[in-house]
A and B are shown apart, each in its own frame.
Chain A
């Protein structure tokens, strides 16, 4: 018996499609950020002074968090 993977999110098919596109967009952005931090922390070790480059990656992580959480606090 086929497994029903996806439920309708709304009763309007066109709105449903827009919602799925928005989900994909949000998911891809978050995935890209995770990839950036993964490679960023490895590449930061390859510079002459890894303390500075690691600091840059650490700062980027912190900035992401402040922006990501902060933008919801105003709503």
Chain B
């Protein structure tokens, strides 16, 4: 049972309306249907994942051996910047919105999203923004080379590529805010009769809280980059020390956005995992209410810890202690979630289909990433590790093994409902094991490199770091190539396969499993009743 046990009276499942909408390319450009838009978000996210992945492989190729072999140092810096921005704003966030578009109306018993036209607009803002970001590589001076954090003074001095980056962030931010408004309104106003807040599936709860986080922090980021833009072109001195501005204040504002952003990316993944584990354990989720409270606590605490990213900029001891302890405090609600997932599995009738494999992989690797985060929260240690590969290892364990593994698991979990076909279990299992092994080959050695003092964001390094860098590069290529297997498995499932029943997983109990597979064009025209 994916959230809480409740009885469902199925409402009017509508007739197939495929005859009522345009065909071909116009279907996708003009669509206001949540499933079409969800599909476009997911494909966009995968495309950006591939683009960002190629950039990552460029970085890893250069780092295979010491000495400069493949790219110029400036281009290397541009790759690290674009890789970060594309993966965060192009791959992970749109991927989560894709899942939200597909699943939230079906899980709350709504016919569609609350603002169907705005939904179309918020998706179609993304391709031009991503194009602008990628095209910044080709303008004079190349793309931004500041890292994804865009710190001044370098970002004030950079070339035209940084302006394109700022515009792209504005557009993607606007898209995120519109998406969040849509998600909040859909969950609050379009729930089926009888579905109280404490009967919402955990995925919807996770997204509701994420959407509030987005409404709170995206305008702050937009404000910060707007000020950066006016410093660059309109003579203001918000962050320009030469005019009396304070570059460190940019860091405060950026991380006031940037730390909650980490949770914006991971909370929807928590929601997906909270759906998968009970289904394949054939047990209700352990501690539903505490899971909701833990999500809320994580979201609120995420606003109180931003300065742990800035321990080395210098701050009073009292501030250091506050941010250190507040950061450690986040481990408590996160620990509650991990405990509840484990307790859900305890004595369950567990089967290991691909979604469950990815959920277990998520649990194992996310906890590793969480613990290294706890280590980095300790200021005296952070001073040693900051800007080393230890930090790179930490956040990739959270972002890739955390969010991306949850997305893979979620795709395999819901793809029978999306396509009407079962996926190839053997291929999906291979995809999991290759991803799991190569991910660890790529990123675990980075802990050793960081502990030994290898700095990040540099194209060259001292001889003694060579061996682990070679291992890491081999792992990165293996991980990248494994994702082609994911693409093949998904395409194969879309094109055909064993027909999926309405409820392919016997443990699934939320509303989407009451609909036929594939789900009809409009999910519920008459709302179902939840008792």
Contact (Cβ within 8 A) A75 B181: no
Contact (Cβ within 8 A) A4 B17: yes
Most chain B beta-carbon contacts within 10 A, residue among A1, A11, A57, A72: A72
A73: contacting residue among B177, B217, B249, B293, CB under 8 A: B293
Contact (Cβ within 8 A) B196 A62: no
Q: Which residue of B lies closest to A33 (CB)?
A: B215
| A31 CB to nearest B CB, Å | 6
Contact (Cβ within 8 A) B303 A62: yes
A39 to B219, CA, bound (A): 8
Contact (Cβ within 8 A) B198 A7: no
Chain A, 12-37, contact with B by CB distance < 8 Å: what is the 0/1 string? 00000001001100110011011111
Most chain B beta-carbon contacts within 10 A, residue among A6, A11, A45, A64: A45
A65 within 8 A of B: yes
Task: Give chain B residues whose Cβ lies under 8 Å from the Cβ of A37.
Answer: 216, 219-220, 223
| A5 CB to nearest B CB, Å | 5
Task: Say yes or no: A30-B181 contact (C-beta < 8 A), given A3-B21, A61-B217, A72-B208.
Answer: yes
A26 to B212, CA, bound (A): 13
| A11 CB to nearest B CB, Å | 6
B303: contacting residue among A6, A9, A26, A61, CB under 8 A: A61
Q: Which residue of B lies closest to A37 (CB)?
A: B219
B149 within 8 A of A: no
A5: contacting residue among B116, B181, B223, CB under 8 A: B116
| A43 CB to nearest B CB, Å | 9
Contact (Cβ within 8 A) A62 B220: no
Task: Give chain A residues whose Cβ lies under 8 Å from the Cβ of B293.
Answer: 73
Task: Give chain A residues whose Cβ lies under 8 Å from the Cβ of B525.
Answer: 7-8, 11
| A13 CB to nearest B CB, Å | 13
Task: Give chain B residues whose Cβ lies under 8 Å from the Cβ of A4.
Answer: 17, 20-21
Task: Give chain A residues whose Cβ lies under 8 Å from the Cβ of B312.
Answer: none
| A9 CB to nearest B CB, Å | 6
Task: Give chain B residues whose Cβ lies under 8 Å from the Cβ of A75.
Answer: 196-198
Measured as residues with beta carbon below 8 angstroms from the partner, the interface class of chain A is: 35 or more
Determine chain A's interface SS by DSSP, over half rule: helix
A19: contacting residue among B177, B190, B256, CB under 8 A: B190
Segment at the A interface, from B82-90, B107-115, B416-424: B107-115
Task: Give chain A residues whose Cβ lies under 8 Å from the Cβ of B249.
Answer: 45, 50-51, 54
A26 to B522, CA, bound (A): 23
Q: Which residue of A lies closest to B21 (CB)?
A: A3
| B415 CB to nearest A CB, Å | 24
A35 to B226, CA, bound (A): 13
A69: contacting residue among B182, B300, B527, CB under 8 A: B300
Chain B residues bordering chain A, tally (CB within 8 A)? 60
Contact (Cβ within 8 A) B292 A65: no
> For chain B residues 153-212, which have a beta carbon within 8 Å of chain A?
177, 180-182, 184-185, 188-190, 196-198, 208-209, 212
| A23 CB to nearest B CB, Å | 4
Task: Give chain B residues whose Cβ lies under 8 Å from the Cβ of A9.
Answer: 110-111, 190, 527
Task: Give chain B residues whose Cβ lies under 8 Å from the Cβ of A38.
Answer: 219-220, 222-223, 226
B492 within 8 A of A: no
CB < 8 Å A-B pair total: 133
A40 to B226, CA, bound (A): 12
A45 to B249, CA, bound (A): 9
A4 to B33, CA, bound (A): 9
B136 within 8 A of A: no
| B425 CB to nearest A CB, Å | 35
Contact (Cβ within 8 A) A26 B217: no
A42 within 8 A of B: yes
B216: contacting residue among A1, A11, A61, CB under 8 A: A61
A14 to B197, CA, bound (A): 25
B22 within 8 A of A: yes
Contact (Cβ within 8 A) B110 A3: no
B299 within 8 A of A: yes
Task: Give chain B residues whose Cβ lies under 8 Å from the Cβ of A61.
Answer: 216-217, 220, 256, 303
A69 to B526, CA, bound (A): 29
> For chain B residues 347-395, which have a beta carbon within 8 Å of chain A?
none
Task: Give chain B residues whose Cβ lies under 8 Å from the Cβ of A34.
Answer: 177, 181, 215, 218-219
Contact (Cβ within 8 A) B185 A27: yes
Task: Give chain A residues whose Cβ lies under 8 Å from the Cβ of B31.
Answer: 3
A19 to B110, CA, bound (A): 12
Task: Give chain B residues whose Cβ lies under 8 Å from the Cβ of A54.
Answer: 249, 252-253
A30 to B224, CA, bound (A): 20
B117 within 8 A of A: yes
Most chain B beta-carbon contacts within 10 A, residue among A1, A8, A23, A58: A23
B69 within 8 A of A: no
| B89 CB to nearest A CB, Å | 17
A19 to B216, CA, bound (A): 25
Given A35-B219, A38-B219, 12 more pairs with CB closer than 8 A = A4-B17, A8-B525, A19-B190, A26-B181, A27-B114, A37-B219, A41-B219, A42-B226, A62-B304, A69-B209, A69-B299, A72-B197
A-B contact pairs, 22 of them (CB 8 A): A3-B31, A4-B17, A6-B32, A6-B112, A10-B527, A23-B114, A26-B181, A26-B188, A26-B189, A34-B215, A34-B218, A37-B219, A41-B224, A57-B220, A61-B303, A62-B303, A64-B212, A64-B215, A65-B213, A68-B212, A69-B296, A75-B197
Task: List A residues at the B interface (Cβ < 8 Å).
Answer: 1, 3-11, 19, 22-23, 26-27, 30-31, 33-42, 45, 50-51, 54, 57-58, 61-62, 64-66, 68-70, 72-73, 75
Closest 6 pairs (CB-CB, A-B)? A41-B223, A38-B219, A37-B219, A75-B197, A7-B111, A23-B114
